[in-house]
Structure 1
Amino acid sequence: MWLLIIWVSVLIWAAGTFWFLFKKPSPFSASSVRPAEPLELDQKKRDKVLKQGFTKEKIPANLDAIIIGSGIGGMTAAATMAKSGKKVLVLEQHDVAGGCCHTFTEKGFEFDVGLHYFGQLHENGLLKVAMDQISEGQLEFVELPQHFDSIVIDDKGKRRDYPILSGRVEMEQNLKKLFPNDVKAVEEFFKVMKLTARKTPLMAILKIIPQWFALFLIKSGIANLISSIFRLSDFNATEMNYKLTSNKDLHLIFSYFFYGVAPKESSFMINALMLHHFKRGAYYPKGGASEIPFHVTKVIQKYGGSVLVRAPVSRILVDNKGTAYGVTVKKGEEHVEIRAPVIISNCGIFNTFQKLLPTEIQTKPEIQSRLDMMRPGKASFLLFSGFDATQEELGITATSTWLFKSNDMDGMMDDFFSMSKDEAPENVPMVLITFPSAKDSQTSQIRHPGKSCMTILTMVNYEWFEDWKDTRVRKRGDDYFSYKQRFADHIFNWACQHFPKLKDKLVYQEAATPLTNMHYLSCNRGAIYSADHNLERFYAEAMARNRCDTPVKNLYLSGQDIFSCGIAGALHGGLLCASTVLNYPVYIDLYLLKKNLKWRKAKETAKLAEKKQQ
């Protein structure tokens, strides 16, 4: 009798699982991808898509979801839900859609504000399949040179240059050549990197399965038996680097993607994952970063949704039962109320919980508990420079350059971030130098002939700029301008030491401080990478608890705060959010689609080979 009951239960469970995974309509399909259309170069036509100003009349009727913020995390969630038959509205406080993917043009120069380059866009890779789906095939990418990054250590006049190469085997082989006495350390690092890349999806699954079950797997030790990735998530980068080698130059290479957290406080797993991200190549959007919101917006519109700008959300509406039911948008002196059964916030956990929720909800223990899991991230400082010269005349390439004043990242960062406000500007210890115009040189010269642009990024303390937080943009005073210019002059002169032809051709320059990031990107304390990426955030239990659903019913989170930073991290945050809201694991559809595309490609290749033999 009991055997029969168990057998029937298994059959019911199997049938339910089959229905859940395969009978629900999928938002993704190979047929939705069409050949990319020519680049739209008419700025007026682009503005009609990217700069649709908010009015009451433009709000779609019968909304299924409202998304706060048009960064890639919010746009991915919105497009996925739209393709699932949901009517969505994306609200953006800035005057152009895109978040960190938007661009701005000044004096004929076009600058990225957050996207520098990203990886894993090789044919039929999961990220490429996802990008194709949310844009329906309209995004094209330029593959950067194999030598995609240069690490330069300016150590008291003893300069050391290390090229970083992409390639399945070339990346590892190159590091072995650069460090012949540390071949074993490089091999061990790449073994861990491979494990991280293959098993990190298990960490993401913790955010989709029921939380009680995820915590049971972790606390019972079953998770550790399933994969060593759950144990690896407990190790900081410095600790693991020293286990591999004592060579501090190699330590720096293993952790060179700085995002405001010293290696001793950051996750070895995440640092390894970042380097692996570029193993199959580095890529840049053809036509510039704004192509991403331009095409994703059109997909959202195609399915009845809208992306509206100049729409600052002032409050998330919550009823007396603790359920979110809408938002208010500030339109002049008026606060426009918009209702929907689902609210998705893509503006970060701190903005969402500390600024947008009603005060009585903010103080609830369950909200504070979620906030206590995170800490604010380090702020960013960016310098945008324009040159009246081609890349050939400037001697620049698509390769990004990471400059460091020492190979001791822990020491450098501790010293710098502990400096006084007055000491800091002339003591910046690390910068990223990137030339967007060189990464997409063909279309850049069509759109902006004879011009080149450079972006320099570094991390700073928000507190150094806090004195001006209550001033208005572009009206912060001479003392503010002088202070930020000290940072700008120092890092620009440092860049000119490595690219000496820049200084004579400079015709435009603008610095973006943490306050700039807060104004245009609504970044909490100017942190473009959102919440801090400290080690504790990536513990298995923290990953299970930090999920898209929130203590407020019908309110969900998307973007960088859900999984990790960067364009790819934010995109995965959007996919995880869509999976949660739809109660359907869209990753399974992406995975099956990826396998199907690979099978088709293999079949086509076999046919071509057969024809050649005939």
Structure 2
Amino acid sequence: MVFFSVVQSLAPLPSLLSLSFPRRRCPLLAVAAAPRCPLNPQLLAVAALPAAPACRRCSVIHLLVAVAVRLAIAIACEPVTGAPSLCLSESVTWESIHSQVEGAGGIFLSLARYEQDVLVVESHDRPGGAAHSFDIKGYKFDSGPSVFSGLQSKGSQPNPLAQVLDALGESIPCATYDSWDVYIPEGDFRFRVGPTEFLKDLEKYAGPNAVQEWKKLMDAILPLSTAAMALPPLSIRGDFGVLSTAAVRYAPSLIKSFVQMGGPFGAKKLSRPFSEILDGLDIKDPFIRNWIDLWSFIFSGLKTNGVISQEMVYMLAEWYKPGSCLEFPNHGSAAIVDALVRGLEKFGGRISLRSHVEKIVVENGRAIGVKLRSGQFIRAKKAVVSNASMWDTLRLLPKDVIPKSYSDKIKTTPQCESFLHLHLGIDAEGIRDDLGIHHVVVNDWERGVDAEQNVVLVSVPSVLSPDMAPPGKHVLHAYIPGTEPFELWEGLERTSPEYRKLKAERSEVIWKAVERVLGEGFRREKCEVKLVGSPLTHRRYLRRHRGTFGPALEAGKESFPGSSTPIPQLFCCGDSTFPGIGIPAVAASGAIAANSLVSVSQHSQLLDAIGI
């Protein structure tokens, strides 16, 4: 989720498989400098590799370019109808003299690392977007609890956030842990990552048949996970230079993975809904199906019938491998934002807070800069890059320059619902000593994990990072993840009695979940800080269209667009673009956009420098 983001399956390989080429010239023929090709663009999707291309020249090129090129080239093709994305914080506009950017993504950091002249323009009074933190009465609240792994790893591992930090020469000290507390209709238990501990809980709550089905699933997942990690996200760029930085550079591992998956049909599995893998393995146990639906929804906003298999394959392999552990940054997610800002400034970048972008300025059909609410115009020498949601980026563009097909695509893109938050500062006295950091409460499996007010997530980060609360206290954040309808709140005045009443009514399910997590020693009246955040809070402070969690793009039906747009010199990154939702994914999308704005030589030098 935007806030609750694990280092997901971000290696682009399977996502590339789901991309199709625009209805223009055949990109393979473009590589060979051929004039024209009638090949149906849909057949160019690697997931549906044609057995008999429409022209002989394509057949030859298919053989010469081979599997690795086909895997990488998909991302290089500029879409006819893409969608922008920006990850607004209370505004989110990052721009630069060379590149103007909106939001908190890897774009401005990568551009700074490339020694581009970067100015970040942020309308909030602090950086970080949906990952920012705030202090009240000595309690340090994250905008949302996040689950991380791989933040301290190096090399070609598929964590783009770690790779961006490595490129900037920054690191983040983390505490490690290996468990969640789970409260489900079958009972309450402490779920531990790793290959064996979960089997004990599975046998207790679901029986021996479920254990056998789970083992069968894991046996199938592990080979697929190798393919999900075959291509580092930072190797991707939005032009044909990707042939050098990705296809050629990683050809051996790509081809090996492609063969291991059984060719195009095996590879296609990773770009399809994860439910198809479960069905193909005849996984029927209701506990397992509910369990995987739960984690799929928590991390992507979609159940297994909508989430791309790549994401779940990586997550399951990562969580259930020997020696698996999770990480929490010391001092919370603010530590990540601080490290990124240090990296930005280290390489000459600048950040301007309280600078609200009013509109993206377009002249002669090209994005040339932005105009701030103050009236100031900032010109971009090279590009404007928006990290806002696709809907918010559209709103910033002059209506007369937007192609209708582009606008219609964005307006008809399905949206995830919003959030409801409860931030508490509490006294630790009377709270159980074995309290864990993360907790998930499911009230009713029958209603579905995506039903309103059915799933509540609770995070107590001061368990691992005590400095986030005063001595003897805890900081707590609980929320309903992406299931709160904006329609219930639309039109309400934030200062009205009706608004306060609705917040009290809708947050009651969260309070009850907190009471279940903290035990009998907790009393509401003893809370020193009580804050309820609604979808209107999301819209206001994070500048999210309708407070949305992000695009609800179902695997097999739609895919996240790339960084390019129909407006020359306007690029996008963030959770509305490939690879999708989550802090690591946003970092990857920013890096991809940045890579597209520099030469192949500069890009390759960066990959060499960070050892991937």
Do these two structures clear the TM 0.5 threshold for a shared fold by scoring above it?
A: yes
Structure 1 counterpart of 2:476, from 454, 459, 473: 454
Is 1:359 aligned with 2:399? yes
Correspondence list, 1:421-460, <5 A:
428-441=453-466, 443-444=467-468, 448-458=470-480, 459-460=483-484
Structure 1 counterpart of 2:582, from 557, 566, 590: 566
Is 1:132 aligned with 2:165? yes
User: Could you say which residue in structure 2 is the equivalent of 1:422?
Assistant: none
Is 1:376 aligned with 2:415? yes
What is the Cα-based RMSD across aligned positions, in Å? 3.9
* Paired residue secondary structure (1:564): coil
Structure 2 counterpart of 1:110, from 140, 148, 152: 140
Correspondence list, 1:124-523, <5 A:
124=154, 126=157, 127=159, 129-133=162-166, 135-144=168-177, 146-147=178-179, 149-154=180-185, 159-167=186-194, 169-170=195-196, 179-200=207-228, 208=238, 210=240, 225-226=263-264, 228-237=266-275, 240=278, 243-257=281-295, 258-259=297-298, 260-279=301-320, 280-320=324-364, 322-331=365-374, 334-353=375-394, 355-369=395-409, 372=412, 374-389=413-428, 393-395=431-433, 397-408=435-446, 411-412=447-448, 416-417=451-452, 428-441=453-466, 443-444=467-468, 448-458=470-480, 459-468=483-492, 471=493, 475-500=494-519, 501-503=521-523, 505-523=526-544
User: Could you say which residue in structure 1 is the equivalent of 2:571?
Assistant: 556
User: Could you say which residue in structure 2 is the equivalent of 1:84?
Assistant: 114
Deviation at 1:452, TM superposition (A): 0.5
- Output the amino acid matched with 2:566: P
- Output the amino acid matched with 1:180: P
- Output the amino acid matched with 1:462: F
- Output the amino acid matched with 1:548: S
Determine the C-alpha separation between the residues in 2 that align with 1:360 and 1:249. Answer: 52
Determine the C-alpha separation between the residues in 1 that align with 2:611 and 2:344. Answer: 26
Percentage of pairs with the same residue: 18
Q: Indicate conservation of the 8 Å contact 2:213/2:285, yes or no.
A: no
Structure 2 counterpart of 1:524, from 534, 541, 545: 545
Of residues 135-144 and 241-250 in structure 1, the stretch that sits farther from structure 2 once superposed is: 241-250
Q: Indicate conservation of the 8 Å contact 1:344/1:555, yes or no.
A: yes
Q: Indicate conservation of the 8 Å contact 1:398/1:435, yes or no.
A: yes
Is 1:121 aligned with 2:130? no
Could you give the per-residue CA deviations for residues 376-418 of structure 1, whole angstroms, max 9, x where no partner exists? 222111111110226x84445334111111234xx4357x45x
Could you give the per-residue CA deviations for residues 121-159 of structure 1, whole angstroms, max 9, x where no partner exists? 353363374153255234211112x22x233213xxxx4
* Paired residue secondary structure (1:581): coil
Could you give the per-residue CA deviations for residues 55-98 of structure 1, whole angstroms, max 9, x where no partner exists? xxx998xx2111111x2x2xx21111111110111111211111
Q: Indicate conservation of the 8 Å contact 1:165/1:174, yes or no.
A: no
User: Could you say which residue in structure 1 is the equivalent of 2:100?
Assistant: 66
Correspondence list, 1:41-56, <5 A:
none
TM-score, with structure 2 as normaliser = 0.72
Q: Indicate conservation of the 8 Å contact 1:394/1:502, yes or no.
A: no
Determine the C-alpha separation between the residues in 2 that align with 1:189 and 1:592. Answer: 37
Deviation at 1:567, TM superposition (A): 1.5
User: Structure 2: 5+ residue runs without aligned partners?
Assistant: 1-31, 33-60, 69-88, 247-257
Determine the C-alpha separation between the residues in 2 that align with 1:119 and 1:382. Answer: 24
Of residues 581-590 and 100-109 in structure 1, the stretch that sits farther from structure 2 once superposed is: 581-590
From the superposition, tell whether residues 303 and 91 of structure 1 become closer, same or farther in structure 2 (CA, over 3 Å): same
- Output the amino acid matched with 2:191: I
From the superposition, tell whether residues 235 and 261 of structure 1 become closer, same or farther in structure 2 (CA, over 3 Å): closer
* Paired residue secondary structure (2:594): helix
From the superposition, tell whether residues 496 and 175 of structure 1 become closer, same or farther in structure 2 (CA, over 3 Å): closer
Deviation at 1:431, TM superposition (A): 0.7
Determine the C-alpha separation between the residues in 2 that align with 1:585 and 1:526. Answer: 40
Q: Indicate conservation of the 8 Å contact 2:113/2:168, yes or no.
A: no
Q: Indicate conservation of the 8 Å contact 1:238/1:251, yes or no.
A: no
User: Could you say which residue in structure 1 is the equivalent of 2:74?
Assistant: none
Could you give the per-residue CA deviations for residues 436-479 of structure 1, whole angstroms, max 9, x where no partner exists? 111323x436xx322211111213111111122xx4xxx43111
- Output the amino acid matched with 1:465: W
Deviation at 1:515, TM superposition (A): 0.8
Deviation at 1:262, TM superposition (A): 3.9
Q: Indicate conservation of the 8 Å contact 2:437/2:461, yes or no.
A: no
User: Could you say which residue in structure 2 is the equivalent of 1:28?
Assistant: none
From the superposition, tell whether residues 212 and 142 of structure 1 become closer, same or farther in structure 2 (CA, over 3 Å): closer
- Output the amino acid matched with 2:545: N
Q: Indicate conservation of the 8 Å contact 1:561/1:573, yes or no.
A: no
User: Could you say which residue in structure 2 is the equivalent of 1:38?
Assistant: none
Determine the C-alpha separation between the residues in 1 that align with 2:280 and 2:433. Answer: 37
User: Could you say which residue in structure 2 is the equivalent of 1:101?
Assistant: 131
TM-score, with structure 1 as normaliser = 0.72
Q: Indicate conservation of the 8 Å contact 1:575/1:587, yes or no.
A: no
Determine the C-alpha separation between the residues in 1 that align with 2:428 and 2:542. Answer: 30
Could you give the per-residue CA deviations for residues 553-609 of structure 1, whole angstroms, max 9, x where no partner exists? 11111122221222122122222222222254988767756668xxxxxxxxxxxxx
Q: Indicate conservation of the 8 Å contact 2:423/2:477, yes or no.
A: yes
Q: Indicate conservation of the 8 Å contact 1:120/1:281, yes or no.
A: no
Could you give the per-residue CA deviations for residues 330-384 of structure 1, whole angstroms, max 9, x where no partner exists? 12xx34343332111111111112x111101234324434665x32222111111
* Paired residue secondary structure (1:255): helix
Q: Indicate conservation of the 8 Å contact 1:559/1:573, yes or no.
A: yes
- Output the amino acid matched with 2:183: V
User: Structure 1: 5+ residue runs without aligned partners?
Assistant: 18-50, 215-220, 418-427, 597-614
- Output the amino acid matched with 1:341: K
Q: Indicate conservation of the 8 Å contact 1:122/1:281, yes or no.
A: no
* Paired residue secondary structure (2:112): helix
* Paired residue secondary structure (2:166): helix
- Larger RCO: 1 or 2 (CA < 8 Å, sep 6+): 2
